[in-house]
Amino acid sequence: MVTLAVSLGGVTAVRTLRARQAATVTAAVAQDVVSSHVRALMGAHLFDVHSSDQHTVKPWFLGKLDFSPPVDDLTPLGFPLVGGRLDYLAGRPVAALVYQRRQHIINLFVWPASDTGAAPTDARADRGLHVRHLTRNGMALWAVSDLNELELDQFAGALRP
């Protein structure tokens, strides 16, 4: 009985520690995502490839990353693709896909999900920007914009499988 209690206590402690670590990693990545979004808007480096054609943007990343980012055409939903660029987040090169909703820029950062211990989904706000995180087909997707929460949720919902 004592062994069972100790074992269950150990399992609970490990789960609590992992959840805390995931929350810490998620918060740190979210801060990096927001900082990268702000830097891209401040400088002249919003695009490396400026195109609304997913068949132009997706192949542009070939040979520049060790993965192939999904590039979705969300124009019918009111979120046209406007380009992409290389960025560096969470200790690795990532794809930054740039979408637009009216005059609002949405940066969608994409990299293999196994590269961080971040929580599988997250929604938060930081410095007046909204951030959404989800995983899809083994990829971590982080969207950030000054769009209102409802519209960014619609954008994130369109990315879900």
User: Is residue 17 scored above 60 in pLDDT?
Assistant: no
What gap in Å lies between CA 55 and CA 24, rounded to an integer? 36
Q: Which homologous superfamily is 27-159 in?
A: MucB/RseB, C-terminal domain (3.30.200.100)
What gap in Å lies between CA 53 and CA 73, rounded to an integer? 8
Q: pLDDT tens digit string along 85-96?
A: 999 998 899 999
Q: What pTM was estimated for this model as a whole?
A: 0.84
pLDDT at residue number 122? 85
What average pLDDT is seen over the chain?
87
- List alpha helices for 53-135, DSSP H: 54-60
Most distant CA pair in the chain, distance: 65
Q: Where are the domains of the chain?
A: 27-159
What gap in Å lies between CA 30 and CA 122, rounded to an integer? 9
What gap in Å lies between CA 135 and CA 115, rounded to an integer? 12
Q: pLDDT tens digit string along 116-147?
A: 556 678 898 989 999 999 999 999 999 999 99
What gap in Å lies between CA 78 and CA 83, rounded to an integer? 15
